[in-house]
Amino acid sequence: MRVLLDECVPVQIRSALPEHEVNTTQKMGWGGISNGELLALAEQARFELLIVADRNLRYQQNLSGRRIAVLELWTNHRPTLEQHFARIRVLVAQASPGAYLVLEAT
């Protein structure tokens, strides 16, 4: 699966997804762009999943009709997320076109 990490998501999340192709918005040259434009660019680049730490994305963007899945993390604190790599892998495995998944705090 082609996965894109939003700019606020720690790059170490890549370690949770070794079987996937993981890129960052910075590497793609997409740092600082709006969420709507990012979603469009990610779909055009054939990313299948966008991982964000933006809890407002689902309220700010019309996600209906999107082909890209979104995984929302409740935090961008790297040490905390590292403790939840197994849960992240499970949610990534459940991602399907247009799905909106949320990794909730435990």
Higher pLDDT, 66 or 14: 14
In the numeric block, which tokens belong to residue 78?
A: 């790297």
CB 22 within 8 A of CB 14: yes
What's the predicted TM-score (pTM) here? Answer: 0.93
CA 8 to chain centre: 10
Q: How confident is the model at residue 65, as a pLDDT?
A: 81
Beta carbons within 10 angstroms of residue 92's beta carbon = 23
Task: Say whether 22 sits in a helix, a strand or coil.
Answer: strand
| 32, two tokens | 């600082």
Q: How many CA atoms lie within 13 A of 88 on its CB side?
A: 29
Other beta carbons within 10 Å of 58: 14
Cα–Cα distance list, 9 to 23, 50, 51, 65, 98 (Å): 11, 10, 7, 24, 20
Give the tens place of pLDDT for each residue, 61-98: 767 788 999 999 999 999 999 999 999 999 999 999 99
Res 46 pLDDT > 80: yes
